[in-house]
Structure formats: structure tokens, C-alpha cells
Structure 1
């Protein structure tokens, strides 16, 4: 309902972000999210430590290992946070945000300090469960002030604009991101 009037990530307003934050703040108004404080997707796509591409992964444990390493090393979260994500995954509490795209996250209270993102694209998708295959894994670290919410909007916008198709062609994540942005800007100019 809150997103019905939003056209794309570039139109997300501070008011909308405050409304979303209000859904999670249990009625308190102590925490105010400022759009200026938002973490940017480009930061993570630009850095090969966070934007990984592998030919394949043997199993989910290997996927978790790839994804959590940069977030642990750069102190976005503690091991306990990733342990909770593993527990949630084993209990089938997962977020399929697009076909072949799996988002992994948990509550910041399990040991996450900063909003961050680690991405893993597999050339050969990994079968998860009985039928589902995953090409792109996203591991999100969260934090109390909800600074990860704008990152989710950016991810949604990116994935709905042929990002996976560009990855399948062999482009790096950052190049696919740049190509998608150029296409969106060109289409905007034509209107």
C-alpha cells in the first residue's frame, strides 16, 4: 500500500521512508531515518569483495561462507547474526524476492551493526530445496535505524530492470548495474 504511488527508487521520499520505519518502530518516534544516511547499492556492487561471481557453489554452506566473509571482515555484523540467518534458512524462512533470487537477512538484534550487502551470482544455479534454483544470493546486514530499507528499494528497482539478464551475458555486477542505469536514463529522456 505504501508503495502504490512510488514510480521508482529515484522517487522514494523521506516521508515514505519514515512511514516504513514507523511500521517497525513499535509506535515510538525516537528513531528517525534520514534518506541522506541511506546506504547505497552502488557502494557494494562496485567492490568485488561484496559483489562476487562464481561458476558454482557446492552447497548452501559454501554460499554462506562466500557471502558472510566481507560483512564479517568489515564489521557489519557478528557471527551470531549469520548463525541466525542459517537457522532461519534451515527452518524454511526465506525471502524469494524474484525468480532465482534469494534474500537472506535477520533481525539486527542477533548481532548486526550496519546496513550492508553481500551478493553472490552463480553461473550454474544452485538447487535449494526440491525444485528451486538460485542464481543470485543477497545477504543483507540490518541495523536499528532501518538504513537498510532504501537498499531494499534499490535492489528491487535493479532486479526489475534486466539486471539478471546482463549477468547471464557475462557482465560483472557493477557493469550490469551501470548498463541498467544508462538504459533507464535513456528511456526517461524519450518520454
Structure 2
């Protein structure tokens, strides 16, 4: 249970309040430090899964904690970004992303109850969505410029791409789950 992949997942959860505190410090270096904390947390997301598979250290605790850590990290980052820039331009993709995470989490929970959890397992599309999302949030945290490049507009554009991928992956999961949701699976079993 206390293997390196699970410790990295717990580290990601522990970095969430650190990120929030650093984000609200008023200093010239704050965006860089907050982006670094978020970036480290995002890297642990990739690393813990890689190590768990590579070292055959997957566990029920890790399978539970990993998606929780991801959703907490992303939701908290998006909420503080919204507070810093409360415009509709940012609010739209934030609503889509958080709404999708709630929907897919509920869908996975329900599918697990009916014994069809594998139907809505994480797909390659979901992994691409997560990567684009993490990069976009990191750029939005940086806010202004990095090495002379204005990163906020790029971060916002990538967040819209992430929101589109988010909706797309949700539709894929809903289509896969539709036979169970509509009761068709139960009817087919009785025939």
C-alpha cells in the first residue's frame, strides 16, 4: 500500500494547499512559483501511473486516490484562476471541465454499481485531454510573459481545446455506458 506510486499521489494531494497559498502571495515571483508547484503536481500524475504499471505496484488505494487527486488538483486550480480573472471567457471552459468531471465521476460510480466499470475506463482520449488541460492551466497560472512570450492567451486557447476534448471524451463514455443507462443491458440479459 505504501509504495512510491501511492506516495506520489499523496504528494499531489498535499501540494494542493501549497499551490493555493503560493498563488495568493503578492510578489513578482508568485506566478512562477505557483506554476512550478502545479507543474510538479502534474508531473507526479504521469509519474505515479507510469511507475505503478512499470513496477507492477498498482493497488486499490492507488486506483481510488489517483483520479481523486487529479480532479481535486484541476478543480482547485481552475477555481483560483476564476477568482483571479472572473470573466466569461474563462468561466465557460471552467464550467465545462468541472461539470464533465462531476458527470463522469458519477457515471463511473454508477457503472461500478452495475458491474460495468470497465465500460467507462480511462481512454487514450482522456489522457490527451488531461495533458492539454495541465499545460493550459500551467500557462494560465503564469499569467503574463515567460521569456518574452505572452502565455495567458495561449493558455486560454489550450483550455478551450481541453474543454472540447473534455466534452468529446464525456460523450464517448456516455455512448459506451448507454446500454446500461437505458436498461438495454438488463433487457438483453432476460431474452
Which bin holds the TM-score, normalised by the shorter protein? under 0.3
More strand by share: 1
Q: Under a length normalisation based on structure 2, what TM-score does the superposition of the two structures give?
A: 0.24
Q: Under a length normalisation based on structure 1, what TM-score does the superposition of the two structures give?
A: 0.24
Q: Quick check: which has more Rg, 1 or 2?
A: 2
More helix by share: 2
